[in-house]
Amino acid sequence: MDVSKLLPFALIAAILPAQVTYDSILHASRDPQNWLTYGGGYSSQRYSLLTGLTPDNVQNLELKWVFHPKYLEKMEATPIVVNGVLYTVQNSEVVALDAVTGRTFWTFHYAVPRESNQYLMVVKGLAMSGDRLFWATYDGHLIAIDAKTGHAIWNKIIVDWHEGYQLNVAPLIVKDMVILGPATNEEGANCWVGAFDVKTGKELWRFYTAPMSADDPAAKTWAGESWKHGGSPVWVTGSYDPETNTTFWGTGNPNAGWNGDNRAGDDLYSDSVVALDADTGKLKWHYQFTPHDEFDWDSVQVPVLATIPWHGAPRKVMLWANRNGFFYVLDRTTGKFLLGKAFVKQTWNVGFDEAGRPMKAPGIDPKPVSGPVVFPGGQGGTNWYSPSFSPRTGLFYVSTWDNYGSPEGKGPIQEWKPGGKYTGMASRRSASPTARARFRGVEVAYRTEDEGYGALRAIDPQTGERKWEFKMIDYTESGVLTTASNLLFTGNRAGNFFALNAATGALLWHTNLGGTVASGPVTYAVDGRQYVVVCGGSAMYAFGLPDSK
Amino acid sequence: MSSRKISSPAQGGLDPLCAAINMWVSAAGILILAASPLLAQSGDAAKGKELYESNGCPTCHRIGQSGSRLGPDLSTIGDRRTAERLTQSIVDPDAEVLPENRFVVVTLKDGTEVRGRILNHDATSVQLIDPKQDLRSFETSKIRGYKILTKGLMPSYEKKLSPAQVTDIVAYLSSLKGSD
């Protein structure tokens, strides 16, 4: 072929619009065949307008393909799907798959050093802008990858894992910025939310979620110099409100996590949502869900943005089911506390003051031994699992754990060393191998089946009241997906993957994937056919209707 | 490719540059040029860069963040190919093609042909990147045919460029190395 025959293609290539633009993410709901961000769009509602799958045909779902990464960790990543290509990540590898067959287009490998792994080498997902994917690696690199070829474009070290940092969050793209932050796995490294230029990786702004100097007003909320190792990690993706140019991020627990004796005060901005100007990183407002936390109740849940009727008028709100067991409604423009209502059994909070500050129940402080029983337990009423909001049903859906804890693990606060544990926790009691083997994930306490179980709950955000629940017996780490045809997809640790009626909670279809469902299901369409993808164990599974139906 | 070396009419000739050029005959009998390492050093990389761009090479090739992804990425080609190999690729691009650089054509049921560079091929499907740089996947049960193009999409530049120009381009390509 003469090269001249390719010139028209060259022109096409030159004017090809970027695959994922700021505008396309702004209007992600109009483009339901794709899944463009961790939360399915800037509002993080995980709600799709696709209606190819319905309550009437969902029982016909069949397995279309399975993808097994080379690594065997529990797969937590939420994929991105653009124009029939699915991108995901596990451990040291990013892949581009044909979303119809699961066949690999390319694989990008970056060897994350095993020694940087302080917990599980899990990654929550990728972000995409233009033709670039962004991967925040466990060992502190932010890598831009060409989505067409799988070649690295740039690779920047943004935190040093030797100092107790890690990256496992799926970044958020806003305009020409990659926004993300580091976590610290109870190692007292002060964390932040930051923005980086998509083209170069240059850092544009940074907001510290734990103070870096005594001059920071937040430092006054930490006794003495305890702010120096305050942690407050970032490990779940935030949301963005284009109307106010505000990005919202949840933060994790303060360090030392299980012993707050040396950090009297609220310990800002731990266990909070921070509302930041997306162009500057300047704090607009914050709300702290659990002041002076000693229960490990990270507030790293995904901020779900919605407009709902509120006392007779539409109101722009943020919906948040927190690890501390309360469902919150905040005015997302001002941060005003509108509602806080328990969605699981709780015993730690006797009520909220007018500003929305919880009033801690007496006698629940952690003890070295014989601690009190507190609901919910250390794993919380929920955790990082993505909830969903359906504008069609008007309901908020969240994976919940009813459970309790006995915070008797309080121990001496360790001397802080870079990269060392800084927990204030006594030696963990270890369960018997038999007891451990019963669980697919962390252990939780229960005395009776009524006191400890997992459930998918539907909450009316106008009242905080539970509309229905789908009880699972075993616990769930699954995200939730809802669709415009009133379907709801979720899973649990027993490996089940469920389709429910979003209006009623009725079970419509299920299958077992043989491994913990610990990611958020996503849906997309190729050539008019709808698919739903979810991870089970260390693999990813795609379902769709039979070709003949 | 099997080939045999023949004496070059240019050897010992007037142009010192050409002294570095050997002539080869490929198994197919195509006369091609090959260069010694000196060739890359003696070419003018700056001129080569201009020639690379003015001759439409970015239409198919990518260097850094410029150019198409259709053909092989040349960003670090200087690390991976000798000057002789680069010369061969310019004047006789079909003489030797790595499996990952093969061009293929997929014929759809309606007769439409889709050409592109192969990414993967298995018992039931084929994946490629097409000239629009879209990643495409085809199930073999849903296509009429698939074949590897022995005549690739890249033309020979043997008659379009002078030996000196080829040498300049080779010098430019040889300068493209990774940062590590």
Contacts of B134 in chain A (CB under 8 A): 83
> What's the mean pLDDT in A169-190?
96
Query: Is a pLDDT exceeding 80 seen at residue A435?
Result: no
Q: Do B120 and A13 touch (CB under 8 A)?
A: no
Whether residue A514 is predicted with pLDDT greater than 70 in this model: the reply is yes
pLDDT higher than threshold 50 for residue B12:
no
* Number of residues that this document lists for chain A: 549
Helix (H) or strand (E) holding B174: helix B163-174
CA atoms within 13 A on the CB side of A449: 4
Percent of chain B, pLDDT > 90?
69
Closest CA relative to residue A43, chosen from A246, A183, A278, A182? A246
- Yes or no, beta carbons of B60 and A106 under 8 Å apart: no
- Cβ distance A146 to A153 under 8 Å? yes
Tell me which chain A residue has its CA closest to the CA of residue B74: A151
Predicted pLDDT of residue B18: 31
For A535, half-sphere exposure in the C-beta direction (CA atoms, 13 angstrom radius) is 27
Q: Which residues of B touch A154 (CB under 8 A)?
A: none
Contact A31, A24 (CB under 8 A): yes
Chain A residues with CB inside 8 Å of B106's CB?
A: none
More confident residue, A477 or B7: A477
CB A305 within 8 A of CB A331: no
Give the long-range contacts of residues A227-230, CB within 8 A, separation 24 or more: A227/A190, A227/A263, A227/A267, A228/A190, A228/A416, A229/A188, A229/A189, A229/A190, A229/A255, A229/A256, A229/A416, A229/A422, A230/A188, A230/A190, A230/A254, A230/A255, A230/A263, A230/A267, A230/A270
Chain A residue with the nearest C-alpha to that of B119: A105
pTM: 0.89
Residues 6+ apart with CB under 8 A from A362: none
Does residue A180 contact residue A37 with C-beta atoms inside 8 Å?
no
Rounded to a whole number, what is the distance in Å from the CA of A486 to chain B's nearest CA? 31
Identity of the residue in A10, A104, A105 whose CB atom sits nearest the CB atom of B68: A10
Q: Return the minimum-mean-pLDDT range out of A479-488, B28-37, B59-68, B130-139.
A: B28-37
Q: Where are the alpha helices (DSSP H) in A266-380?
A: none
CA A490 – CA A512 distance, rounded (Å) = 12
What is the residue-averaged pLDDT of chain B? 80
pLDDT score, position A17: 54
Backbone dihedral region of B106: left (phi > 0), alpha (psi from -120 to 50 degrees) or beta?
Answer: beta
Does the ipTM exceed 0.85? no
* Selected residue with higher pLDDT from A450 and A170: A170
Instruction: With CB atoms and an 8 Å threshold, state whether B137 touches A101.
Output: yes
Instruction: Please give the angle made by the CA atoms of A318, A323 and A326, to the nearest 5 degrees.
Output: 60
Taking CB atoms and an 8 Å limit, are A3 and B129 in contact across chains?
no
Query: Which tokens in the block code for residue B177?
Result: 């190395």
State residue A445's pLDDT score. 62
Q: Which residue has the higher pLDDT, A367 or B51?
A: B51
> Please, which residues bridge with residue A246 across strands?
A241, A277
Is residue B67 within 8 A of residue B61, CB to CB? The reply is: yes
- Contacts with B135 from chain A: Cβ below 8 Å: 84-85, 96, 98, 105, 148
Q: Which residue of A has its CA nearest to B139?
A: A101
Residue in chain B lying closest to A106 (CA) = B119
Chain B residue with the nearest C-alpha to that of A102: B137
Confidence of residue B94 (pLDDT cuts 50, 70, 90): very high
pLDDT over 70 (residue B22)? no
In the predicted structure, residue A311 carries a pLDDT above the cut 50? yes
Mean pLDDT score of chain A, rounded to an integer? 92
Please, which residues bridge with residue A520 across strands? none
| Count of Cβ atoms closer than 10 Å to residue A91 Cβ | 24
* A92-101, B16-25, B164-173: segment of lowest average pLDDT: B16-25
Peptide bond preceding A264: is omega within 30 degrees of 0, i.e. cis? no
B123: closest chain A residue by CA: A103
Which of B58, B59, B120 faces A104 most closely, judged by CB atoms? B120
At B153 the pLDDT is 85
Q: What one-letter code names the amino acid at A540?
A: M
A445: phi then psi, degrees, rounded to nearest 5: -90, 140
Of A443 and A481, more confident: A481
Q: Write the DSSP symbol of residue A428.
A: P
For A115-155, write each residue's pLDDT tens digit: 887 667 789 999 999 999 999 999 999 999 999 999 999 99
Beta strands in B43-167 (DSSP E): 62-63, 66-67, 103-108, 113-121, 125-129, 135-139, 143-148
| Confidence label for A104 from pLDDT (cuts 50, 70 and 90) | very high
Contact B151 A1 (CB under 8 A): yes
- Break chain B down into helix, strand, coil percent, rounded to 5: 30, 30, 40
* CB < 8 Å to A86, chain B: none
Stretch B21-38: mean pLDDT: 37
Q: Rounded mean pLDDT of A449-459?
A: 89
Backbone angles phi and psi of A180, in degrees to 5: -165, 180
Neighboring chain B residues of A3 at a CB cutoff of 8 Å: 56, 59-60, 153-155
- Which chain B residues are within 8 Å of A64, Cβ to Cβ? none
Taking CB atoms and an 8 Å limit, are A149 and B154 in contact across chains? no
Nearest CA distance, B15 vs chain A (angstrom): 30
Q: pLDDT for A191-244, tens place per residue? A: 999 999 999 999 999 999 999 999 999 999 999 999 999 999 999 999 999 999
- Which residue numbers of A have CB closer than 8 Å to B's CBs? 1-3, 6-7, 9-10, 12-13, 16, 83-85, 96, 98, 100-101, 103-106, 146, 148-149, 151, 153
How many beta carbons lie within 10 A of that of residue B11, not counting itself? Answer: 12
Size of interface A-B (CB pairs under 8 A): 80
- Gap between the Cα atoms of B104 and B113, Å rounded: 10
Instruction: In whole angstroms, give the CA distance from residue B27 to residue A309.
Output: 78
Q: How far is B26 from chain A (nearest CA, A)?
A: 21
Compare CB distances from B59 to A3, A101, A149 and report the shortest one's residue: A3
Instruction: Assess contact for A321 and A313: CB atoms under 8 A.
Output: no
> For residue A446, what pLDDT is reported?
66
Task: Give bridge partners of residue A250 from the DSSP assignment.
Answer: A273
Cβ–Cβ gap A83/B134 under 8 Å: yes
pLDDT of A68 above 90: yes
Residues of B with CB under 8 A from a CB of A: 56, 58-60, 62, 65, 68-70, 73, 75, 115, 119-120, 122, 124-125, 127, 129, 131-135, 137, 139, 151-155
Q: Supply the pLDDT for residue B180.
A: 52
Residue B79 to chain A, least CA–CA distance (Å): 16
- The stretch A380-386 carries a mean pLDDT of 95
Q: Is the pLDDT of residue B38 over 80?
A: no
Percentage with pLDDT > 90 across chain A: 81
Banded pLDDT at B30 (limits 50, 70, 90): very low
Is B122 within 8 Å of A153 when comparing Cβ atoms?
Answer: no
| Polymer length of chain B | 180
Are A83 and B122 in contact (CB < 8 Å)? Answer: no
Nearest CA in chain B to A10: B59
Out of A3, A10, A96, closest to residue B135 by CB = A96
Which positions of A are annotated as active-site residues?
296
Q: What is the largest CA-CA distance in chain B?
A: 60
The beta-carbon neighbor of B119 closest among A10, A13, A105 is A105
Residue in chain B lying closest to A2 (CA) = B155
Token pair, residue B156, equals 């020979």
pLDDT band at B14 (very low <50, low <70, confident <90, very high): very low
Partner-chain contact A84 B60, CB within 8 Å: no
CB-CB contact of A459 with A368 (8 Å): no
Of residues A451 and A281, more confidently modeled: A281
Residue type, A142: L
- Residue A480 is predicted with a pLDDT of 98
Is A494 or A447 the better-scoring residue by pLDDT? A494
Q: Indicate yes or no: CB of A105 within 8 angstroms of CB of B127.
A: yes
What count of other Cβ atoms lies within 10 Å of the Cβ of residue A484?
A: 17
